[in-house]
Chain A
Amino acid sequence: MTRSAALVAINCTCCGAGLDVLGGGRVEVHICPYCGSTLNAQDNYKLLGQHDRKRQTTTPIEIGMRCHLHGVDYTVIGLIEQYERWAGQSALWVDFQLYSPTHGYVWLTLENDHLTLSRRVRTSRMLTPAEVERAPAQPRLKFRGMWFKYYETSTSEAIYVAGEFSYRPQIADRVTTVTVVAARAALHFSRTGQEDEVEISTYVTPAEANDAFGTDLGLRPSGVHPEQPLRKGPNHDFLRRLWLCGAGLCLLLALLLSGGRGSTVLNTTYAVNDLPVEVPFAIATANQLVEIELSGPVNNSWADFDMEVTGPEDDPLFGIGRGIEYYTGSDKDGRWSEGNRTARVRFRPETPGTHALFLDLSEAGNWPATTPGTPIREVSLTVREGLTSGSWALRSGLFFVALFALMIARQVLHHARRWQGCDWTDED
């Protein structure tokens, strides 16, 4: 039986207050906000019962307000204030019943200034508190292509009701709801008496709500709601991919440039007894990286060399010391070795032409003293020009990695804050 569509207003059969009729023909009861009377909307508004009107609630959304949400016109026809107390903490929220002539009845829930829109879904899938309790791991389920993970089980009690409803809510009604959350939606499995209900909800941002109601509702949400998506700008995903590409390109460039060995301009070997020597080498291109490499067959011995390089005008460019050493042995863990038989110097000559390298042996010795190693007898000298360097490409790559990591960190932090209120614990 449905109510007459022509009915637009009634007087409360108990207190006589004027009440707008806003819901559709499926409204079951109309609860007077003034005297708390529950009137049967399907039977001439006969009195069914009366609630205590001591408690009043004030909300930014009121019965009778209209909104255009997600492309659908709704009217607020009723509200229920819910209360939950668990583990020494309490929570308070308001469920608004909305009605659309084309889309039926939905719920808009307001908690800590966070808004979510819920709609009943038809599904045989049900998740009960008992199933959650028995589950060996955090329950997950797939619905409409989305993976949902268990968030919480809550039992709420209605402490204030007013307006029109498609069922008969009463003060002190208790509902136990199991909530599972996905990236952009949540499912709520409720059992009231003999009836099971499943609803799917999505987050409504304050901007969307203000736009829908055509007014500033003054919502200032605190914290992060479990259904709240990360607030991303229109360029967020583009920039994240761009930083990743930039990092990849620069790191690849660093790898390629670090391997550039240039061309050899000098490769010779000297007996250490012939040192010091002055070795000329020709540099064809200025301002490119030149490498001087010393190597020698040291074994449990070391050798330190002094070098000075002069330019084409016999002008001193720099002096430097380099050492080569290599040690081996064995202990209870097996064989070991340390050191390097090669030492390198790199510089960038400002002018092309014939440069000169003065090379001298500064010191040499063996290790350990009781078992002499092989003293160095000769040293090989190689000069290369035109080397490339991946240093700046590596820095750029790391910079873009940092930018990318910042964006990911923001997502990770937001995810953690969304799941902060989850009541699942892994028991050993």
Chain B
Amino acid sequence: MTPIRLIALLFVATAVSASAYVGYWGYGGESRDLDRSVRIGSFGGGYSAYSRVK
């Protein structure tokens, strides 16, 4: 096993392991349009400022 092959093998193993780990914990699956601004918490009737995603 040459050094280049060993490095490449470790790289692939790391990528697969890291993908499995972050995938198990749900990274990358969150919705991207969550409004985390300071305006939230003022929930009430009437006009809503949230963008609608259907």
Contact = CB atoms under 8 A, between A and B. Distances in A.
B31 A388 contact: no
Contact of B23 (A323, A340, A389, A399): A389
Contacts of B30: 289, 346-348
A321 interface: yes
Interface residues of B, number: 36
Interface string A243-262: 10110011001100100000
Contact of A289 (B8, B9, B29, B40): B29
A243 B9 CA distance: 9
B7 to A, nearest CB: 10
Given A320-B34, A321-B48, A253 B25 contact: no
A393 interface: yes
Contact of A320 (B15, B28, B50): B50
Interface in A206-246: 234-235, 238-239, 242-243, 245-246
A387 interface: yes
Contacts of B24: 257, 388
Interface residues of A, number: 55
The secondary structure that dominates the B interface is loop
A318 B34 contact: yes
Given A246-B15, A288-B26, A388-B24, A321 B2 contact: no
A304 interface: yes
**Most chain B beta-carbon contacts within 10 A, residue among A257, A345, A390:** A257
Given A347-B34, A389-B27, A308 B43 contact: yes
Contacts of B25: 287-289, 348
Contact of B35 (A242, A319, A396): A319
A257 B23 contact: yes
A276 interface: yes
Interface in A331-359: 339-340, 343-348, 358
Contacts of B26: 287-289, 346, 348, 387-389
A253 B19 contact: yes
Contacts of B28: 389, 391-392, 395
Given A254-B23, A321-B52, 10 more contacts: A243-B12, A250-B16, A253-B19, A304-B52, A318-B35, A320-B35, A320-B50, A360-B48, A387-B29, A391-B27
